[in-house]
């Protein structure tokens, strides 16, 4: 069988083309847009399926130089760190901290359930973590990052492939169960909006399209970047990545962490120092643009190079774990999120949104909440709290929780 090897630049160029293939398909298949399936996931899976078909037919095997995949990943998580402003946390008040705590507790439970079920089903507990908060709370970006870590450091064959499949399953499931959970709570307790004329705050709307899941075919809010501003923010990102690499290397002496953690922490420090001193003005829109581009290329490269044949032996156990995760998410949102967040109308809308957020992505959560408020009325508190946690804060606590589980298992 003939093998064709793509060099570094050819791989990136192909990723860009496959990315726009994903956009084209999503525009023509409404159900993909309805469930907020990211274009890199669509294009990447299509390409991976075609590559699998030609390989299985003995026609052609494709190999890729993914040297730039890690820098793109680190750049994306660096932009997440640059969005983690303590000023936003103060603006959201105690409700943001409370929901952050609930989301973090869910991540702990997801990993406990995933690892326990994996062991009971006779597969490596790390596969259970991949079907836990790595992909459920973390989504495709975190899944690809930790999947790569597990393949390289723990020799878990097919970890990235499992992560992408699990993240996509969660994304669709979160979109399916959020509306019914919220509607059931609203009808059962006869809840009504506290202020029917209220609208979601602009900050929440902006947070809802954070770079973790934002798409580049939509126009973001904020100041349009000039070449100078773009270069300035790119310099900030690159400096944070460089310093973060040194910080990650130092942290690596004590604990196993994915490569992006150091850069994300340094970026958060830089953002809050910039806010406090005014030395550098962080352009949120420009940083988000950089993060969106980096994530899009990183995810596309990760998905188009999937070895789908590695998924066959794990398909059965993984489906069992994911069904349990979806069931637990619905129960957690119904019995825990709703009650802790206040047992009122906004709490019910947040519970519906948490299903999308806890099984995949912040935009899924916003879509769930939007479907509820269009029917029952505005929920401004829900639209402030949930997107803020999903866009800026959960990645920090989730990464620490995942790392603690990995170190405990290994």
Residue with tokens 């794990």: 314
3-state secondary structure of 219: coil
CA 85 to chain centre: 19
Q: What pLDDT score was predicted for residue 205?
A: 44
Please check whether residue 367 is in contact with residue 36, taking contact to mean a CB–CB distance below 8 angstroms.
yes
Q: What pLDDT score was predicted for residue 209?
A: 44
22 burial level (CB within 10 Å; 0-12, 13-18, 19+): buried
Instruction: Report the C-alpha gap between 263 and 309 in whole angstroms.
Output: 33
- Across the chain, what does the average pLDDT equal? 86
Q: What pLDDT score was predicted for residue 136?
A: 95
- Calculate what percentage of the chain has a pLDDT beyond 70: 90
Cα separations (Å) of 100 from 61, 83, 95, 96, 386? 45, 16, 8, 6, 8
Q: What pLDDT score was predicted for residue 35?
A: 64
What percentage of the chain's residues is helix, strand, coil (to nearest 5)? 75, 0, 20
Q: CB-based contacts of 294: which residues, under 8 Å, 6+ apart?
A: 72, 73, 75, 76, 79
Q: What pLDDT score was predicted for residue 202?
A: 42
Q: What pLDDT score was predicted for residue 84?
A: 78
Q: What pLDDT score was predicted for residue 85?
A: 81
Mean pLDDT for each 10-residue chunk of the chain (410 residues)?
A: 90 95 90 74 88 88 89 88 79 87 97 96 94 93 88 88 89 87 94 62 44 48 73 95 92 75 89 90 88 86 79 82 96 97 95 92 82 88 86 84 90
pTM of the entire predicted model: 0.75
Q: What pLDDT score was predicted for residue 204?
A: 44
Residue with tokens 């975190």: 142
333-382 pLDDT, tens digit per residue, is 999 999 999 999 999 999 999 998 899 778 778 888 888 998 899 898 89
141-196 pLDDT, tens digit per residue, is 889 889 988 988 888 888 988 998 899 889 888 888 999 999 999 999 999 997 54
Q: CB-based contacts of 346: which residues, under 8 Å, 6+ apart?
A: 194, 379, 380, 381, 382
Q: What pLDDT score was predicted for residue 72?
A: 92
Q: What pLDDT score was predicted for residue 168?
A: 85
């Amino acid at each position: 069988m003939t093998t064709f090897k793509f060099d570094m630049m050819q791989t990136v160029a192909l990723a860009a083309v496959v990315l726009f293939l994903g956009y084209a398909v999503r525009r023509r298949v409404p159900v993909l847009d309805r469930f907020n399936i990211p274009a890199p996931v669509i294009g990447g899976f299509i390409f991976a399926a075609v590559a699998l078909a030609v390989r299985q037919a003995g026609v052609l095997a494709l190999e890729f130089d993914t040297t730039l995949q890690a820098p793109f990943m680190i750049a994306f998580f660096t932009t997440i760190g640059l969005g983690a402003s303590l000023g936003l946390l103060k603006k959201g008040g105690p409700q943001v901290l409370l929901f952050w705590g609930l989301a973090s507790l869910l991540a702990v439970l997801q990993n406990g359930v995933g690892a326990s079920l994996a062991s009971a089903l006779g597969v490596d507990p790390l596969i259970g973590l991949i079907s836990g908060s790595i992909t459920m709370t973390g989504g495709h970006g975190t899944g690809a990052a930790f999947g790569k870590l597990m393949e390289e450091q723990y020799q878990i064959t097919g970890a990235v492939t499992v992560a992408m499949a699990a993240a996509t399953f969660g994304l669709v499931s979160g979109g399916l169960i959020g509306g019914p959970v919220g509607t059931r709570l609203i009808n059962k307790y006869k809840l009504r909006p506290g202020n029917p004329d209220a609208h979601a705050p602009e900050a929440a709307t902006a947070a809802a399209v954070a770079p973790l899941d934002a798409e580049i075919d939509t126009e973001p809010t904020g100041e349009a970047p000039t070449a100078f501003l773009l270069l300035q923010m790119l310099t900030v990102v690159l400096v944070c990545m460089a310093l973060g690499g040194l910080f990650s290397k130092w942290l690596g002496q004590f604990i196993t962490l994915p490569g992006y953690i150091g850069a994300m922490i340094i970026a958060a420090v830089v953002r809050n120092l910039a806010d406090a001193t005014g030395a550098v003005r962080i352009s949120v829109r420009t940083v988000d643009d950089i993060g969106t581009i980096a994530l899009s290329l990183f995810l596309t490269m990760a998905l188009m190079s999937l070895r789908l044949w590695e998924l066959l032996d794990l398909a059965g156990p993984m489906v069992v774990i994911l069904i349990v995760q979806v069931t637990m998410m619905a129960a957690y949102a119904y019995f825990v999120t709703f009650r802790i967040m206040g047992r009122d109308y906004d709490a019910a809308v947040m519970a519906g949104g948490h299903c999308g957020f806890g099984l995949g992505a912040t935009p899924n959560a916003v879509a769930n909440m939007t479907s509820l408020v269009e029917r029952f009325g505005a929920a401004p508190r829900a639209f402030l709290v949930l997107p803020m946690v999903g866009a800026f804060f959960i990645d920090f606590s989730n990464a620490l929780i995942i790392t603690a589980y990995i170190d405990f298992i290994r």
